[in-house]
Amino acid sequence: MATQKKKIRYSNGGQSSAASVLTSRRPSEVNEADDGFVEGSVVRITMKNFICLGEVNGYLLPWRSWTYNYIMVRPGPNLNMIIGANGTGKSSIVCAICLSLAGKTTVLGRDDKVGGYVKTGCDKGFVEIELFKSGGNVIINREIHVENNQSVWKLNGRICNQKTVEEEVKALHIQVNNLCQFLPQEKVGQFAKMSKIELLEATEKSVGSPEMFEYHCELKNSRSKDREMENVIKEKTSYLEKTKQRFERHKLDENRYYEKQRHLNAIELIEKKIPWVEYETTREELEGVKKERDKAKKQLAVLKQAHMPMLTKLQSIEEHLKPSEEQMKAKSAAIKEASSKCKLKRDQLDRMHKDIEDIKQAFKMKQTEEEDQTKRIKNIILMIEDLKVVLAEVDKQPDVTPRITEVNAELRQIQTEREKVQKQKADLRQEKDNLSAELRMLEKKLTDMNNVMTMKEEKLRGRHRDTHTAVEWLRQHRDLFSGNVCEPLMLVINMKDHRFAKYLENHISFNDLRAFVFQRKEDMDKFLFEVRDKMSLRINVIIAPTETWSRAPPSRHIESLRRFGFFTYLRETFDAPEEVMSYLCQQYKVHEIPIGNEQTEAMIATVIKEPYIKVLYTKDQKYTVKKSFYSNITSTKNTTVYPSKYLSITVDAEQKRQLEQQMNVCRSKLRDIDERLNIIQNEATALDRRDNELLSEKKNLLESKGKKRQLEQKISTKQDRLKQLEHSGIDLKKAEAETKKKIIAVNSKKKSVVTTLIEQIKLQAKLTMEKEYLALEMMGLLAEKTKLENLCREGTSGLKAMTHQCSQLEESAAQLKIQCKENMERAKSICKMQPNETLPRNLHDAFSKLPNTLDELDAMLNEERSRAESFPGLTKKVVEECNKQAQEIKQLEQELTEKNAALIAFRQKMSEAKEYWLTPLKQLVQQINKKFSDFFRALECTGEVDLHYDNEDEYDKYGISILVKFHESSQLHELTQFHQSGGERSVATMLYLMALQELIRCPFRVVDEINQGMDSINERKVFDILVHTACKERTSQYFFITPKLLQNLTYVEEMTILCVNNSSHMLCSNEWDESAFLQRCQQKKKVQA
C-alpha cells in the first residue's frame, strides 16, 4: 500500500454494534460545500436496527442476525472504497442508500419486503441519509415497520409521503433504479444482459441533459403518433379513391336511370295513344263490315232460286245404286273364300316338294358315308402293315433288363448319400438358426444400451440445444484435433449404479455437466473459434489438468469411515474417461467425498466434527462443513439431494464389452457354418446331377423295353377296328329302292291336291268375271251421280258460304260495335278523362308526333321497352346515393387537406425535436466512446461504444452497442452474457461506468463487488483508471464496494477508505485507534521475521 499518511475520519458507532466502519478522512459538518461535494452527494448515512445479511459463497453464516444497532457512515466527496470480508455488512450500506432514497427492494435483489431489512426481534428500524445541497442539505429519514411492511417518511424533519421524497430525489438527479448509476452486487450480472435500447435509456437518464430523455420519449411517442396519422391519411386517401370510384359507377347509373325514365315516359305516352288508335281502327272496320253484310244478303237470295232441279235428279240415281252395291259385296266375299282355298292347296304342294327333296338328300348322305368307310378301311390296312415292319426291327435289338438293374442299384446308393447330406444340412441350419437367434438377442441388448446414450443426447438437446449442436459438429470434425477431446460430462460419465447418480449430479454444476473436456489448449482454442465465434453457440469448455488426478488416493481409506456408515467414495460410483475423471478429482474432489447411509444421518453431529471431512452425502442430504477464516467458527449447511435428471441413465461398460465380444464370436461361428453349408451344398448338387442322369437313362431303357409290347397292342387294336368297319357297311341298292318307294307315295298324294286346286281356280275366275260386269254397270251410274253432285256441291257450297258469310258479317258488326264502345271507355280511362270529356290539347299534340298505326306503335313500344329493360335494377335510390357520395367526397377531400397539413406541421415539430435530441446524443456517445476506447487501450485491449440504429426515424430502435476485444487473436464482439467471461464482463462494465464518470449528471454512483472475477493485471489497471477518474476535482461521488484488494495499489489523498469489520468482540468505530493498530502490525511482522 502507499505509505503516505491519511487523515482519519471516524464514523460514529452505536452501543454494542456487531459491525464497525472505519473511515480514513476527517469528520465533516452538515454542509460541506468547501469539501468538494456536488449537488446530491451523500454526506451521511445513519442506520438503526438495520440488518446486515452475512453471506459467503452462498452459505449463510452464524452471524446472520447481527445487525447495525446504530451506526453513522460519513463518506468522502470523491472515491469511497468500502472494503471488508464477505458477510461483514458492506452491502448493507448499499441497501441503506437505496431504501432511504425511495428505491424499490427489487433493485437490491435481496428480500422483496422492506420489513425484512429490520433487525430480527425488533418491531421497527430506520435509515437516514443526508444529501449535499447548496443553501442547506437535504435529510431524508425512513422508519420501517415490520408488522405491516409500511414506512414513515420524513423530509428535513417533517413527515411527508413517499411521492414527496421521490420528487426531491429526482430533482437532485439521483436514479437508484438506473444500473448506470446504482449497480448493487446482485445486479452486476444484469448489466451485460441489458439490451442496446435499455442501455441507451439508462445512459440518457444518467449522463444526458434533463431534456434528452424527455425528447427521446417524446420522439418515440411522436413516431407512433406519426405512423397513426400517416396510416389514417392512407386509409382516408384509399377510402376517398374507393368512394370516387363508387361515385363514378353511381354517376353512370344515375345517367342510365334518367335515360331509362325517358324511355318509360315514352312507353307511357304510347300506351295512352294505342287505345285511341284501336278505337279509331275498330270504328272504321265496323263501317266496312256493315256494307259487306248488306251485299252478301242480296247474293244469297239469287243462289237459293237456281239450285232446286239438280237436287231432284240426284235423288233418283241414288235409289238405283243401292241394290247393285249389295250384289257387289256378295261377289267379293265368294271370291275371297275361293282364293283362301287355293292358297291352302298351294301350301300343301310346297310341303310335298320339300319331302321329296329330303328323301333324296338322305340317300346321297348314305352314299357319301359308304365312300368314307371304304377309305378308312384302306388306311387301317396300311397302318397295320407299317407297325408289323417296326415290330420286326424291335425283335432284332438286345435285352436291356441287366442295365436297368444296375441303374436302380446306383440310384439307391445316391439316395442314401443324399439323405446323409440332407441330415448334415439340417443340423447345420439348426445350429445357424440358434446362433442367429442368439446374435439378434445380443444386438437387441446392445441397441438398448445405445438407446440409453440416445436418451442422454435427447435430454441434452432439450435442456441446452447449443451444446447438442456442438456435440454433433465435434463428431464430424474429430480429425481437426491432435489431442483427446471428450464430449460433455453428462454424456461420457457412466454410473455403475443409477442409485448414486443423484449424488454426482448434485455435486457437479450443470455448466460443467454440459462442458467439453480438452487435453490440449490449442485444441480448445480451435474448438471455441469454430463453434463459439463462427457458429455463435453458447458452450462451456474445460482444460484437463496437466498432471493426472484420476488415481489420486483419498486422504483416508474408506474402511476407517465405515464406523460412521460410509461405504464408498463418490469417485468409485462412476466411470469416465481419464481427462474427465482427472478434472473431477482436482476440481470437485470426488475421491474425497464419502457417501453414507441412515447410520451416517443418525451420527451427523459427530461426523461433522471430523476435521478431514468437508463435504459428505447421506441417503437424501448433502452436508457442507465450513470454518470461518476470521473467527474459526465452524458452520454447517445441509441441502436436500434432489433426484437425478441426467446421470441416472446408465450403461454397464463391462457388460457392453462382453456383449460385443459375444457378438463377434457368434458372427465367426456363423461364417464357419456358411462355409460348411456351401461345401455340403456342392456335394448335394453333384448327387442331384448324377441322379438326374441315371433317371434319364432308366427312362430311355424302360421305353426301349416296352416299345415291343406297345407295337403289338397297337397292331391288335387296328385289326379289331378293321373287322368292325367291314361288318358295319351300308347296302346302297336296298337304300335306293326304299328311296324310290317313298317318292312314289308322296307323288300320289300330290296328284289329289292338284285336282282340288284346279277346281277352286276355275270357280274364282267365274266369280271375278261376274263382279267385273256388275262393276261396269255401277260405274256408269256413279259417273252421272258424281257429275250431278259436283254441280250441286258447287251450288250448295256457294249457298252455304254466302249464308255463313252473312251470319259472320252480322256477328262481326255486333262485336265491333261493342268493341268500339269498350275501346273508347278504356282510352278515356287510361288518359284519366271523364266519360263526356274530349281529348285534351296537350295529349292531342303529343299523339300527333307519334305514328298513327298500331303496327308502328307496337314496334315503337317494343323498342322503348327493350331499351328500358336494358337498365335493370335502377331506382330513384341511385340518384340519392350519387348525391350522398358527392357530398361525402367533398367532406373527405376537406378532411384530407386538414390532416395532411397537420401531418406536415407535426413532422416539422418532430424534426426540430430530433435535432435537439440526436445531435447532442451523437456527441455524447462520441465522448463516451473516446473515454471507453482510451480506457481499453490502457489495458492493451480494444473497446468501442457506438450508437446503434437501423433507421433514423425508428426512435424506439435506437440503442448503445458496446464492442470489446480482450485477445489479439479474437475479433470485436458485442458485450453480452454469452461471448465474454464473467471477469471480462466486469472489466467492460466498470470501464463503461468510468467513461460516464466525467459526463454524468448524477451526484454519486454505487458499484458493488464488480471486480470479482477479474484477473490481477486487469484489476490493477482498472483500479488505477477508477482512482484517476473518480478523484478529479468537482467530479461526482463514487462508492466502490469490494471484499478484497490487491497489494501495492496506488492511493491518492482524495480517496476515502471505509473498512467494514464484524465480530462478537469488535470495537465501536469511535473507540478504534489506527496508530495502535499499525504499531501492532509492525511488531507482528518483526516477530515473524
The string of pLDDT tens digits covering residues 73-104 is 889 888 898 888 777 777 788 888 888 888 88
Residues of the chain above pLDDT 90, percent: 6
Mean pLDDT score of the chain:
78
**Across 152-172, average pLDDT:** 90
> Is the per-residue pLDDT at 441 higher than 80?
yes
865-885 burial, b for 16+ CB within 10 Å, e for fewer?
eebbeebeebeeebbebbeeb
> What pLDDT shows up at residue 760?
77
**Across 476-486, average pLDDT:** 90
> Is the per-residue pLDDT at 713 higher than 50?
yes
For residue 517, the number of C-alpha atoms closer than 13 Å in the C-beta half-sphere is: 24
pLDDT digits (tens, 9 = 90+) for 100-122: 888 887 777 666 788 888 887 78
**Across 254-260, average pLDDT:** 72
**Across 603-610, average pLDDT:** 84
Query: Which pLDDT band, with edges at 50, 70 and 90, does 1069 fall under?
Result: low
| Residues 721, 1049: Cα–Cα separation, whole Å | 142
| Residues 361, 287: Cα–Cα separation, whole Å | 95
Top pLDDT among 1075 and 679 is at 679
Query: Which pLDDT band, with edges at 50, 70 and 90, does 396 fall under?
Result: low
Query: Which pLDDT band, with edges at 50, 70 and 90, does 517 fall under?
Result: very high
Residue type, 157: G
Query: Which pLDDT band, with edges at 50, 70 and 90, does 874 fall under?
Result: low
> Is the per-residue pLDDT at 560 higher than 90?
no
> Is the per-residue pLDDT at 52 higher than 70?
no
Which value, in Å, is the radius of gyration of the alpha carbons in the chain? 66
Top pLDDT among 524 and 858 is at 524
| Residues 575, 944: Cα–Cα separation, whole Å | 47
**Across 945-954, average pLDDT:** 82
In sequence order, what are the residues at sequence separation of 6 or more whose Cβ sits closer than 8 angstroms to the Cβ of residue 142? 99, 100, 102, 126, 127, 128, 151, 152, 153, 154
Nearest to 139 by CA among 49, 70, 68, 45: 45
**Across 190-202, average pLDDT:** 73
Q: What are the angstrom distances between the C-alpha of 751 and each of 344, 345, 346, 398?
A: 15, 11, 12, 80
> What pLDDT shows up at residue 154?
92
> What pLDDT shows up at residue 470?
92
> Is the per-residue pLDDT at 130 higher than 90?
yes
Are the beta carbons of 58 and 128 closer than 8 angstroms?
A: no
Cell of 431: 445350429
**Across 29-49, average pLDDT:** 74
- Other C-beta atoms closer than 10 Å to the C-beta of 895 total 14
Are the beta carbons of 289 and 813 closer than 8 angstroms?
A: yes
**Across 401-419, average pLDDT:** 81
> What pLDDT shows up at residue 285?
78
Cell of 842: 296537350
**Across 199-220, average pLDDT:** 75
* Max CA pair span of the chain: 190
Q: Of the ranges 86-100, 211-225, 867-881, which one carries the lowest mean pLDDT score?
A: 867-881
| Residues 708, 711: Cα–Cα separation, whole Å | 5
> Is the per-residue pLDDT at 257 higher than 90?
no
- Other C-beta atoms closer than 10 Å to the C-beta of 277 total 20
- Most confident among 9-18, 464-473, 722-731 (mean pLDDT): 464-473
Nearest to 650 by CA among 473, 852, 846, 505: 505
Query: Which pLDDT band, with edges at 50, 70 and 90, does 1007 fall under?
Result: confident
> What pLDDT shows up at residue 419?
84
**Across 117-144, average pLDDT:** 88
Q: At 949, is the secondary structure helix, strand, or coil?
A: coil
Are the beta carbons of 133 and 39 closer than 8 angstroms?
A: yes
Top pLDDT among 550 and 400 is at 550
> What pLDDT shows up at residue 31?
47
**Environment class of residue 352 by beta-carbon count within 10 Å: exposed (0-12), middle (13-18) or buried (19+)?**
middle
Top pLDDT among 972 and 471 is at 471
Top pLDDT among 385 and 250 is at 385
Query: Which pLDDT band, with edges at 50, 70 and 90, does 924 fall under?
Result: confident
> What pLDDT shows up at residue 129?
93
Query: Which pLDDT band, with edges at 50, 70 and 90, does 596 fall under?
Result: very high
> Is the per-residue pLDDT at 139 higher than 90?
yes
**Across 387-397, average pLDDT:** 70
> Is the per-residue pLDDT at 686 higher than 80?
yes
> Is the per-residue pLDDT at 32 higher than 60?
no
| Residues 1084, 151: Cα–Cα separation, whole Å | 49
**Across 342-363, average pLDDT:** 80
> Is the per-residue pLDDT at 59 higher than 70?
no
Query: Which pLDDT band, with edges at 50, 70 and 90, does 997 fall under?
Result: low
> Is the per-residue pLDDT at 512 higher than 60?
yes
> What pLDDT shows up at residue 58?
30
> Is the per-residue pLDDT at 601 higher than 90?
no
| Residues 507, 514: Cα–Cα separation, whole Å | 14
> What pLDDT shows up at residue 3?
36
Query: Which pLDDT band, with edges at 50, 70 and 90, does 793 fall under?
Result: low
Q: Of the ranges 181-195, 670-684, 737-751, 837-851, which one carries the lowest mean pLDDT score?
A: 181-195
Residue type, 550: S
**Environment class of residue 48 by beta-carbon count within 10 Å: exposed (0-12), middle (13-18) or buried (19+)?**
buried
pLDDT digits (tens, 9 = 90+) for 459-479: 888 888 899 899 999 989 988
